[in-house]
Amino acid sequence: MLPAEEKLMTPGIRPLIAGNWKMNGSWRGSRRLADAVRDAAPGLPCDLLVCPPFLHIQPVAATLLGSRVAVGGQDCHHKPHGAHTGDIGAVMLRDAGATHVILGHSERRADHGESNELVARKCEAALAAGLIPLICVGETLAEREAGRATAVVEAQLDGSLPLGFVTSGGIVAYEPVWAIGTGRTPTEEDIAAMHHAMRQALVMAFGPTARTTRLLYGGSVKPSNAEAILALPEVDGALLGGASLVAEDFLAIARAMEAG
């Protein structure tokens, strides 16, 4: 683990611990989870975000109203409204109480064939609706083994982030596809190197303002490895899947931010 002084070299960024609940939970279970997070939030050293399934956004947002915990969607359509059966518009998310939206998650890129170009259009729609986009990038195992991880992630950043992303507070999550839900994580050196490369790419593209863009790590973060990962330079928080479904785990990881 790196010494605390190195962590302090990334100034001006308040860390964020975000939960992607994916397609899990019941209306009642989501409210219970939100209750537990809300009650613990005031003592935590970071900002918190939970992203329930669409149907649970409204009740979760109602539970979290006035708290320090923000609510986000897991996707939105690239058009504001219209004949798009089964889709959800960014303004609808906003209307239901969301302030953020995850876009370009690898599960959407894989399951729904989402390209960088489409992710960028969705991101523009989110920004137009006043939502803060949280864009996911990350390489597959084959790409990492071929030595192409950094090039893939840089191309995703280049293709998925529209103008205005950084000044609107957009967030980036590095989620290696092979680390999601597998219990495997890259080495601390590999995470730090990728976050450094992402920071450089963002500063090149968007200018010095990108020095304060939050860069999250996601992929098999759990209470046992959170402290070491969150202490790495340029890691400004985490995007959690499985661990965000268990209140004690989510909160333990948020507390690890303090130790990190």
Instruction: Point out which residues bind ligand 13P (CB under 6 A).
Output: 20, 105, 175, 180-181, 218-221, 239-243
Shortest approach of ligand 13P to residue 114 CB, angstroms? 14
In whole angstroms, the minimum distance from the beta carbon of 107 to ligand 13P comes to 7
Residue whose CB is less far from ligand 13P, 104 or 206: 104
| Active site amino acids | 105, 175
Least distance in angstroms from the C-beta of 221 to ligand 13P: 6
Measured from each CB, the residue nearest to ligand 13P is: 241
Q: How far apart are CA 174 and CA 235, in angstroms?
A: 10
- Structure tokens that stand for 32 in this block: 């219970």
Residues 165 and 206 sit within 8 Å (Cβ to Cβ): yes
Phi, psi (deg, nearest 5) at residue 22: 50, -145
Least Å distance, CB 74 to ligand 13P, is: 9
**Closer CB to ligand 13P, 57 or 206, in the complex:** 57
Helix (H, G, I), strand (E, B), or coil: what is residue 112? coil
Q: What is the number of other CB atoms lying within 10 angstroms of the CB of residue 6?
A: 12
Contact 226, 166 (CB under 8 A): no
Identity of the residue, 61 or 240, whose beta carbon is nearer to ligand 13P in the bound complex: 240
Token pair of 241, please?
């899947």
Q: Which is nearer to ligand 13P, 18 or 34 (CB)?
A: 18
Half-sphere exposure of residue 220: CA atoms within 13 angstroms, side-chain side:
13
